[in-house]
Structure 1
Amino acid sequence: MIASALAAHACQGGQPIPRGIVIVRADGDVNTLITDLNKAFHAFKEEHTQQLADIKKGNADALQALKVDNINADIAQLQASVDAANERMVAAAMNGGANQLKDKEYTEAFSAHFKKGEVQASLNKGTASEGGYLAPVEWDRTITDRLLVVSPMRALCFIQDISTNGFSKLFNNRGTNSGWVGETASRPETNGPTLGSLAYNTGELYANPAATQQMLDDSAVNLEAWLASEVETEFSIQEGVAFLTGNGTNKPNGLLTYITGGANAAAHPWGDIKTVKSGAASTLTADGLIDLVYALPGEYTANARAAMNRNTQAAIRKLKDGQGNYLWQPSFEAGAPATVLGYGIAEMAGMPDVAANSKPIVFGDFKRGYMIVDRTGVRVLRDPFTNKPYVHFYTTKRVGGGLMNPDVLKALTVAA
Structure 2
Amino acid sequence: MHNSTHPTLETKADTRGAADAFGEFIEAFESFREANDERMAQIEKRMGADPVTDDKVERLSQALEEHEKRLERLALKQARPALGGLETGEARPSEHRQAFEAYVRGGDENRLRRLEEKAMSGLTGADGGFLVPPETESEIGRRLASVSPIRSIASVRQVSSAVLKKPFAVSGAQTGWVGEADARPKTEAPQLAELAFPTMELYAMPAATAALLDDAAVDIDRWIGEEVEQAFATQEGAAFVTGDGIAKPRGFMTYPTVSEADWSWGSVGTVSTGADGAFMPGMAADALIDLVYALKGGYRQNASFVMNRRTQSAVRKLKDADGNYLWAPPASAGARATLMGFPVVEAEAMPDIAPGANAIAFGDFARFYLVVDRQGVRVLRDPYSAKPYVLFYTTKRVGGGIQDFDAAKLLTFAA
Shift of 1:335: 2.9
- Contact persistence 2:303–2:363 (CA under 8 A): yes
Confirm whether residue 84 of structure 1 aligns to residue 83 of structure 2.
no
Confirm whether residue 165 of structure 1 aligns to residue 162 of structure 2.
yes
Q: Which moved more, 1:152-161 or 1:380-389?
A: 380-389
- Structure 2, unaligned stretches of length 5 or more? 1-13
Shift of 1:394: 1.4
Q: Deviations over 1:101-134 (max 9, x none)?
A: 6653654554344333334538837534435444
For residues 37 and 232 of structure 2, the distance between their equivalents in structure 1, rounded to whole angstroms, comes to 43
- Contact persistence 2:377–2:395 (CA under 8 A): yes
Alignment of 1:82-231 (within 5 A): 82-89=71-78, 91-92=79-80, 95=81, 97-99=82-84, 104=93, 106=95, 107=97, 110-121=100-111, 124=115, 127=121, 128-130=123-125, 131-174=128-171, 191-213=188-210, 216-217=213-214, 221-231=218-228
Which position in structure 2 is the counterpart of 1:56?
44
For residues 144 and 175 of structure 2, the distance between their equivalents in structure 1, rounded to whole angstroms, comes to 48
Equivalent of 2:272, from 273, 277, 280?
277
Kindly, what percent of the aligned residue pairs are identical?
43
Q: Which moved more, 1:312-321 or 1:34-43?
A: 34-43
Q: Which moved more, 1:268-277 or 1:405-414?
A: 268-277
- Contact persistence 2:277–2:413 (CA under 8 A): yes
Which position in structure 1 is the counterpart of 2:254?
257
- Contact persistence 2:256–2:267 (CA under 8 A): yes
Q: Deviations over 1:225-268 (max 9, x none)?
A: 33222211111111111111111111111111125069xxxxx9
Which position in structure 2 is the counterpart of 1:18?
none
3-state SS of 2:67 partner: helix
Shift of 1:176: 5.5
For residues 218 and 88 of structure 1, the distance between their equivalents in structure 2, rounded to whole angstroms, comes to 22
- Structure 1, unaligned stretches of length 5 or more? 1-25, 263-267
Shift of 1:84: 2.5
- TM-score by length of structure 1 reads 0.82
3-state SS of 1:400 partner: strand
Which position in structure 1 is the counterpart of 2:11?
none
Aligned Cα RMSD in Å? Answer: 3.2
For residues 177 and 332 of structure 2, the distance between their equivalents in structure 1, rounded to whole angstroms, comes to 55
For residues 85 and 270 of structure 2, the distance between their equivalents in structure 1, rounded to whole angstroms, comes to 46
Q: Which moved more, 1:284-293 or 1:127-136?
A: 127-136
Confirm whether residue 43 of structure 1 aligns to residue 34 of structure 2.
no
For residues 221 and 186 of structure 2, the distance between their equivalents in structure 1, rounded to whole angstroms, comes to 64
3-state SS of 1:57 partner: helix
Matched AA of 1:239: E
Shift of 1:179: 9.0
Matched AA of 2:154: C
Which position in structure 2 is the counterpart of 1:29?
17
Q: Deviations over 1:259-318 (max 9, x none)?
A: 5069xxxxx992211011123211232221121111111111111111111111110011
For residues 293 and 83 of structure 1, the distance between their equivalents in structure 2, rounded to whole angstroms, comes to 26
Equivalent of 1:71, from 46, 60, 74?
60
Q: Which moved more, 1:404-413 or 1:274-283?
A: 274-283
For residues 304 and 387 of structure 1, the distance between their equivalents in structure 2, rounded to whole angstroms, comes to 47
For residues 43 and 219 of structure 1, the distance between their equivalents in structure 2, rounded to whole angstroms, comes to 48
Alignment of 1:270-349 (within 5 A): 270-284=265-279, 285-349=284-348
Would the alpha carbon gap of residues 390 and 84 (structure 1) be closer, same or farther in structure 2, given more than 3 Å must change? closer
Which position in structure 2 is the counterpart of 1:362?
361
Shift of 1:155: 1.0
3-state SS of 1:161 partner: strand
For residues 34 and 21 of structure 2, the distance between their equivalents in structure 1, rounded to whole angstroms, comes to 20
For residues 185 and 106 of structure 2, the distance between their equivalents in structure 1, rounded to whole angstroms, comes to 78
3-state SS of 2:333 partner: coil
Matched AA of 1:279: G
Q: Deviations over 1:23-68 (max 9, x none)?
A: xxx9962333233322222222222222122222226311111111
For residues 109 and 68 of structure 1, the distance between their equivalents in structure 2, rounded to whole angstroms, comes to 56
3-state SS of 1:152 partner: coil
- Contact persistence 1:196–1:269 (CA under 8 A): no
For residues 207 and 299 of structure 1, the distance between their equivalents in structure 2, rounded to whole angstroms, comes to 39
- Contact persistence 2:374–2:398 (CA under 8 A): yes
For residues 134 and 364 of structure 1, the distance between their equivalents in structure 2, rounded to whole angstroms, comes to 36
